[in-house]
């Protein structure tokens, strides 16, 4: 850097010499004379030269207060004093030219506009300065004079040799050599780049921070909305109940939402029959798409499904289509299937924005059709969308699988609302079948489905008042049974020895309903699935064993119950029941009814005589809730952790599900999820081993050199081991819970057969969050129980 500075100084000296010579040549022909030495000395001693020094920086960046003596004023940054005053003055003028040039480029418009005012001040006070620095002022056009203080100082101060304080402005452009301009520009770019990157990072941080703040605000807003919703919830259970016959006073709604009309397939998607392309009519094509969509399902491999579909499909075909399409085996639906698979993939690959559009549309439909006004309160509707047309599947080996479920039209629908409400508008060009105002029923709309000819309804959501009142009444009836059950049991025991066969069969049937929680069972026609209940059992559904697996008088049940779910159970029964069963099956074929002297109607009539409102279903609810209460009391202790208490609850719930035969197939993802859980457990065990080693080392270190630091480290390691052990225990409890409930459906009994007040009281008593037991839907459904129940409730 020193060498570069010396080179720079030499260049400046040469420039100043050349410029002084040029000025001497120019001044001679113009009649200008060299200034005398006296004049030069007077100029150097006065403060006039400060104007030239001040004009060096133009805009200037950094000011320094420099004391300049009379012998040092003509020096240039440490150079030797010039022997000739003229040369020294020329050097100053040249330097001023260079500096003023750079300053002129940096000058802004504001300083130029002030030139006139500054010039007037210079004319009054700057005569002496103009005489000594005429060339300097010519070079510094656009700058004018400095502030008003400078000429005043020059006029007032004596021309003494004492040092004076002046402001010196440094100019970066002149100090940096030309050779390093490119380097400076490069380094400047780097600095700018670094600065810009830093600014971007800061900006991103701010954006992220802002986004986090927005998320927090949204979460806070959601919490506030939830609080508002909770505060706005209709606590109907605190109000007086209407009469048993009247369900509501006012009811208003928008009617059902009809599915969109069929959109024909594109021209490039073809249906083939016997290898030839066939253009189907819209109605025929629509039903063809129903079958094509199910080609990958096992249903389409079943003969009953194929026959039912093809029979209903041919009824919709035109005459020409019926003449051509005579065999299902010659039909090729592969292109139609491929088209719908591609459409499905497109839906899966939708962008976030596209999915949001669909979500917004669904929300709009929910707001328009998904709510009604019941007694002036906004209530949610359960199923406001009508089922679109398709093929009936059924459960198990249903004889009607594959039949066409026809499109429901407004002309098929009956609307129910209050007289003073606005009747829902039917779709354009249609009208309702009927509009009625019946406040003794809870449905909003009704129609007949074509498969079984049974009515279907649009009802309110399970969280609504009407559903809640029905549930509450159901569980209260089951609780009342607790007071009458002993007398009912005595009665059906007496019937076992009755001389009348009908009484004996009724007594044994009620015993099965009480002990095994069997459904009563209804009479079935030939077109329904072969499912049975207690009263519809056949001889082939039971086997009697005098001794089996170390037990006496064992009855082996094996039949299909509701939803074609197999019921298989081996149950030891009382000796008199076993004798009666042998009597019931004597001289009967396997297809004959076991209880041929009674029906479900007769059975429920007898139960209602024993207690008002008692049916076989109430018995089932009573036994389920009683089992849950007993199991919870037995399995729960105060010293358990929350996770252990939840496991105890699920085990109690599982006992109820087994009693009620609430089974399910193992989930498809069960093996994979269990494998992941076991991997987590193994990893946690490894972490515990590592933590124990670290704890051992910490103990040794503390023992060898005890200190506060080693003590804190030891406590930290002990807490880490304890925390990891607790996490391992939680994972192991999850593994046990999942394995035990692999084929058991806990949700069915929880929603339909277990008094929710048992669960709420247990949660409050044992400090278990209700969210750990009930999900959002279940909490909404049982809001009445959560609000009214304390920890001392017992079923």
Contact 174, 101 (CB under 8 A): no
- Mean pLDDT over residues 515-534, rounded? 77
- Mean pLDDT over residues 474-480, rounded? 93
Which of 143-147, 200-204, 510-514 bottoms out in mean pLDDT, i.e. has the lowest? 143-147
Q: What are phi and psi of 542, to 5 degrees?
A: -130, 155
**3-state class of 186 per DSSP?**
helix
Contact 696, 705 (CB under 8 A): no
* Rounded-to-integer distance, Cα 716 and Cα 509, Å: 65
Q: For residue 400, which of 450, 453, 451 has the smallest C-alpha distance?
A: 451
pLDDT of 748 higher than 90: no
pLDDT of 118 higher than 70: no
pLDDT of residue 8: 57
To which residue do tokens 């008003």 refer?
A: 148
Secondary structure of 630-682 in the HEC alphabet? HHHHHHCCCCCCHHHHHHHHHHHHHHHHHHCCCECCCCCCHHHHHHHHHHHHH
When pLDDT is cut at 50, 70 and 90, the band that residue 370 belongs to is: very high
pLDDT of residue 25: 43
Residue 195 tokens, joined: 């600065």
CA angle 368, 372, 376 (to 5 degrees): 130
What amino acid positions are annotated as catalytic residues?
753
pLDDT of residue 216: 58
Q: What are phi and psi of 658, to 5 degrees?
A: -70, -40
Give the chain's largest Cα–Cα span: 159
Query: Could you tell me where the DSSP H helices lie in 32-126?
Result: 37-45, 49-54, 85-106, 109-113, 115-125
Higher per-residue confidence, 16 vs 520: 520
pLDDT of 509 higher than 90: yes
Query: Starting at the edge strand that comes first in sequence, how are the strands of the sheet with 414-416 ordered?
Result: 434-436, 414-416, 445-448, 455-458
Distance of CA 481 to CAs 486, 507, 612, Å?
Answer: 9, 18, 10
Q: Identify any residues that bridge with 458 across adjacent strands, giving them in sequence order.
A: 445
pLDDT digits (tens, 9 = 90+) for 271-287: 999 999 999 999 999 99
Judging by beta carbons within 10 Å of its beta carbon (0-12, 13-18, 19+), is residue 725 exposed, middle or buried? middle
pLDDT of residue 179: 43
Which of 97-101, 291-295, 489-493, 499-503 bottoms out in mean pLDDT, i.e. has the lowest? 97-101
pLDDT of residue 411: 96
pLDDT of residue 206: 58
* Rounded-to-integer distance, Cα 257 and Cα 383, Å: 9
- Mean pLDDT over residues 369-386, rounded? 93
* Rounded-to-integer distance, Cα 493 and Cα 508, Å: 8
pLDDT of residue 561: 86
* Rounded-to-integer distance, Cα 496 and Cα 517, Å: 19
- Mean pLDDT over residues 594-611, rounded? 90
Number of C-alpha atoms within 13 angstroms, CB side, residue 740? 18
pLDDT digits (tens, 9 = 90+) for 644-676: 899 899 989 999 988 888 877 777 787 888 888
> Most confidently modeled of 17-21, 486-490, 693-697?
486-490
Contact 610, 484 (CB under 8 A): yes
When pLDDT is cut at 50, 70 and 90, the band that residue 583 belongs to is: very high
Whole-model pTM: value is: 0.65
* Rounded-to-integer distance, Cα 548 and Cα 567, Å: 19
* Rounded-to-integer distance, Cα 42 and Cα 33, Å: 17
pLDDT of residue 126: 43
In the DSSP assignment, the letter for residue 538 is B
pLDDT of 149 higher than 50: no
* Rounded-to-integer distance, Cα 61 and Cα 56, Å: 11
pLDDT of residue 232: 67
**3-state class of 439 per DSSP?**
coil
When pLDDT is cut at 50, 70 and 90, the band that residue 146 belongs to is: very low
Distance of CA 504 to CAs 535, 580, 587, 597, Å?
Answer: 13, 7, 17, 10
- Mean pLDDT over residues 297-323, rounded? 93
Q: For residue 661, which of 558, 581, 735 has the smallest C-alpha distance?
A: 558
When pLDDT is cut at 50, 70 and 90, the band that residue 704 belongs to is: confident
Q: Identify any residues that bridge with 544 across adjacent strands, giving them in sequence order.
A: 555
When pLDDT is cut at 50, 70 and 90, the band that residue 235 belongs to is: confident
Residue 185 tokens, joined: 């520009």
* Rounded-to-integer distance, Cα 391 and Cα 293, Å: 10
> Most confidently modeled of 75-79, 187-191, 347-351, 701-705?
347-351
* Rounded-to-integer distance, Cα 795 and Cα 789, Å: 11
pLDDT of residue 242: 66
- Mean pLDDT over residues 629-650, rounded? 91
Q: What is the mean pLDDT of the chain?
A: 77
Report the percent of the chain where pLDDT is more than 70.
70
pLDDT of residue 742: 78
When pLDDT is cut at 50, 70 and 90, the band that residue 169 belongs to is: very low
Q: Assign residue 767 a region: left if phi > 0, alpha if psi is -120 to 50, beta otherwise?
A: left
pLDDT of residue 746: 83
Report the percent of the chain where pLDDT is more than 90.
46
Higher per-residue confidence, 147 vs 779: 779
pLDDT of residue 175: 40
**Cα separation of the two ends of the chain:** 96
* Rounded-to-integer distance, Cα 701 and Cα 42, Å: 86
When pLDDT is cut at 50, 70 and 90, the band that residue 475 belongs to is: very high
Q: Identify any residues that bridge with 556 across adjacent strands, giving them in sequence order.
A: 543, 570
**3-state class of 467 per DSSP?**
helix
- Mean pLDDT over residues 174-180, rounded? 42
* Rounded-to-integer distance, Cα 417 and Cα 433, Å: 14
């Amino acid at each position: 850097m020193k060498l570069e500075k010396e080179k720079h100084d030499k260049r400046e000296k040469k420039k100043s010499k050349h410029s002084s010579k040029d000025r001497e040549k120019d001044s001679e022909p113009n009649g200008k004379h060299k200034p005398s030495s006296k004049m030069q000395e007077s100029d150097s001693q006065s403060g006039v030269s400060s104007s030239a020094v001040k004009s060096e920086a133009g805009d200037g960046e950094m000011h320094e207060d420099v004391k300049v003596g009379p012998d040092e004023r003509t020096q240039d940054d440490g150079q030797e004093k010039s022997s000739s005053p003229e040369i020294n003055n020329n050097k100053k003028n040249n330097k001023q030219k260079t500096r003023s040039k750079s300053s002129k480029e940096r000058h802004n418009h504001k300083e130029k506009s002030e030139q006139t005012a500054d010039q007037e001040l210079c004319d009054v006070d700057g005569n002496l300065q103009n005489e000594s620095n005429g060339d300097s002022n010519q070079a510094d056009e656009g700058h004018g004079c400095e502030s008003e203080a400078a000429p005043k100082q020059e006029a007032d101060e004596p021309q003494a040799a004492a040092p004076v304080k002046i402001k010196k402005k440094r100019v970066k452009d002149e100090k940096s050599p030309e050779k390093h301009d490119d380097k400076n520009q490069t380094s400047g770019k780097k600095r700018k780049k670094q600065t810009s990157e830093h600014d971007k990072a800061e900006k991103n941080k701010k954006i992220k921070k802002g986004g986090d703040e927005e998320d927090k605000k949204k979460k806070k807003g959601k919490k506030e909305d939830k609080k508002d919703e909770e505060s706005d919830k209709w606590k109907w259970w605190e109000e007086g109940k209407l009469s048993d016959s009247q369900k509501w006073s006012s009811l208003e709604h928008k009617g059902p939402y009809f599915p969109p009309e069929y959109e024909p397939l594109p021209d490039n998607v073809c249906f083939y029959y016997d290898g030839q392309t066939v253009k189907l009519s819209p109605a025929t094509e629509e039903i063809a798409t129903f079958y094509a969509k199910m080609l990958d399902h096992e249903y389409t491999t079943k003969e009953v499904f194929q026959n039912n579909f093809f029979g209903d499909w041919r009824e919709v075909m035109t005459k020409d289509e019926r003449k051509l399409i005579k065999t299902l085996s010659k039909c090729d639906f592969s292109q139609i299937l491929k088209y719908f698979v591609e459409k499905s993939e497109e839906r899966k690959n939708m962008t976030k924005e596209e999915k949001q559009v669909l979500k917004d549309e669904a929300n709009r439909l929910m707001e328009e059709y998904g709510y009604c006004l019941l007694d002036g309160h906004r209530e949610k509707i359960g199923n406001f969308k009508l089922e679109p047309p398709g093929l009936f599947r059924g459960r198990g080996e249903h004889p009607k699988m594959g039949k066409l479920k026809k499109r429901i039209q407004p002309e098929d629908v009956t609307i129910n609302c209050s007289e003073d409400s606005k009747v829902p508008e039917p779709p354009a060009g249609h009208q309702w079948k009927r509009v009625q105002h019946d406040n003794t029923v809870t449905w909003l709309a009704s129609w007949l489905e074509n498969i079984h000819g049974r009515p279907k309804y649009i009802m309110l959501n399970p969280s609504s008042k009407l559903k809640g009142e029905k549930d509450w009444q159901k569980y209260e009836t089951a609780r009342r049974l607790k007071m009458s059950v002993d007398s009912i049991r005595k009665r059906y025991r007496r019937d076992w020895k009755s001389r009348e066969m009908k009484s004996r069969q009724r007594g044994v049937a009620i015993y099965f309903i009480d002990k095994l929680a069997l459904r009563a069972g209804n009479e079935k026609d030939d077109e329904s699935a072969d499912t049975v209940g207690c009263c519809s059992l056949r001889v082939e559904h039971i086997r009697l064993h005098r001794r089996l697996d170390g037990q006496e008088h064992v009855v082996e049940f094996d039949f299909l119950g509701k939803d074609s779910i197999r019921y298989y159970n081996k149950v030891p029964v009382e000796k008199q029941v076993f004798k009666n069963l042998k009597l019931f099956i004597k001289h009967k074929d396997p297809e004959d009814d076991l209880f041929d002297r009674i029906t479900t109607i007769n059975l429920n009539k007898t139960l209602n005589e024993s207690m008002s409102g008692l049916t076989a279903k109430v018995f089932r609810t009573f036994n389920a809730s009683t089992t849950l209460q007993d199991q919870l009391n037995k399995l729960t202790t105060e010293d358990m952790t929350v996770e252990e208490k939840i496991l105890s609850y699920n085990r109690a719930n599982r006992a109820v599900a087994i009693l009620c035969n609430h089974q399910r197939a193992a989930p498809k993802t069960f093996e994979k999820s269990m494998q992941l859980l076991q991997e987590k457990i193994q990893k946690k065990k490894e972490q515990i081993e590592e933590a124990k080693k670290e704890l051992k080392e910490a103990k040794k270190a503390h023992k060898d050199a005890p200190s506060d630091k080693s003590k804190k480290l030891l406590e930290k390691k002990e807490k880490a081991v304890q925390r990891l052990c607790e996490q391992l225990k939680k994972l192991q409890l999850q593994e046990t819970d999942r394995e035990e409930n692999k084929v058991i459906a806990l949700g069915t009994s929880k929603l339909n057969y277990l008094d929710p007040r048992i669960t709420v009281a247990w949660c409050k008593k044992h400090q278990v969050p209700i969210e750990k037991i009930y999900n959002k839907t279940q909490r909404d459904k049982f809001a009445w129980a959560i609000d009214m129940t304390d920890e001392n409730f017992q079923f």
